[in-house]
Amino acid sequence: MDDALKAVFQAGSRNWSEDLAAFSYHELCFALDYQYGLKDIHGIESFDKLFDETGLKADFLSTDASKADQALYRLIYFFLGDQHSQLTALSPMTDREALTEFINGLY
């Protein structure tokens, strides 16, 4: 693994840089805007607008990887709810126990 990847995925780290959070956010918006097939059916003008209106944007832009994964969970299961999208992988920096507690607290 090169030094750049080691810096991003440090063992035990739960944070990433503001630049990486912003890059990941904009990459997610781009991918969903151009590849999510049910965007029109759900009436989504843009995912940036959806994230802003639902309060998810702040969590996606957080330097806390766990908050970003929590926002992704809420997006998939509460805002899209399309019965075929699902969360299958987490950031290596996500606190899995905290995410499980978060999910359990929702139900």
**Boundaries of every domain in the chain:** 15-81
- Band (pLDDT 50/70/90 cuts) for residue 1 is very low
3-state secondary structure of 32: helix
DSSP symbol at 14: -
Query: Using one digit for the tens of pLDDT, what is the confidence trace for 45-86?
Result: 999 999 999 999 999 999 988 888 889 989 988 888 877 777
- Band (pLDDT 50/70/90 cuts) for residue 24 is very high
Structure-model confidence comparison of residues 24 and 7, the more confident one: 24
Provide the pLDDT for residue 50.
Answer: 96
Report the percent of the chain where pLDDT is more than 90: 41
Provide the pLDDT for residue 63.
Answer: 92
Q: How far apart are CA 44 and CA 83, in angstroms?
A: 17
- Band (pLDDT 50/70/90 cuts) for residue 92 is confident
If one counts every other C-beta atom within 10 angstroms of the C-beta of residue 62, the result is: 18
Q: How far apart are CA 30 and CA 10, in angstroms?
A: 27
Q: How far apart are CA 19 and CA 16, in angstroms?
A: 8
